[in-house]
Amino acid sequence: MNKIFAVFATVVFIAGVVFFTFAELNKDNTEEPETYAWMKVFSIIIIILGVVLAIACRNNW
């Protein structure tokens, strides 16, 4: 179970990094710049969640 939890933490962290990169590359989009700003905020939250999950996985929480 702990290995599955570690894989889930890794997937969540990588998804957050991908979303952040996508938002950073499209921040100068003239159509909807506010969308990408919020996407960066949510991706940072996802990255923090991935780190917390990884720490919880190591501590058998």
* Tokens read off for 10: 């890794």
- Phi and psi at 47, nearest 5°, equal -65, -45
Q: What is the dihedral of CA 35, 42, 9, 15, to 10 degrees?
A: 20
pLDDT for the residue numbered 52: 92
What residues does each domain of the chain span? 2-58
CA-only gyration radius of the chain, Å: 14
* Mean pLDDT split into 10-residue runs, the chain, 61 residues: 85 94 84 84 94 86 60
User: Per the confidence metrics, is the pTM higher than 0.75?
Assistant: yes
